[in-house]
Structure 1
Amino acid sequence: MLYYALVFLVIALIAGVLGFGGIAGASASIAQILFFVFLAFLIISLTIGFVRRV
């Protein structure tokens, strides 16, 4: 999932440089959402792993 967030971030950067504002904004929004979903899954995974060890 982090891979897809980085892919959309790169697409947003390239589209922004080339002047495609709408595509850049949409790609940046998707990248941000995927990044926060990744962080949520990471925190849940670490919490479950910690609880299982205790």
Structure 2
Amino acid sequence: MIRLAVICLIIAGIAALLGFSGAAGTFVGIAKILVLAGLALFVLFLVLGLLAGRSVSKRLD
């Protein structure tokens, strides 16, 4: 997801240089959403991984 956000930012930069401000703004908005979604998924999976690790270590002891 972060890769897609970077690609959107590159496209937005190129569009801004060529004068397409509407398209550039749209791609920046898409990049923001992708970064936020990627960070939310990262935090979610981090918490789930930590919780799963605790339950496994309790069973091993």
TM-score (norm 1): 0.94
Q: Say which structure, 1 or 2, has more relative contact order (CA 8 Å, 6+ apart).
A: 1
Count of aligned residue pairs for this structure pair: 54
Unaligned 5+ segments in structure 2 are 55-61
2:59 aligned residue: none
Query: Corresponding residue for 2:38?
Result: 38
Deviant stretches of 4+, over 6 Å: none
Alignment RMSD = 0.6
Instruction: Give unpaired runs (5+ residues) of structure 1.
Output: none
Identity across the alignment (%): 39
Query: Normalising by structure 2, what TM-score?
Result: 0.84
Per-residue Cα deviation, 1:15-42 (whole angstroms, up to 9, x for no partner): 1111110000000000000010000000
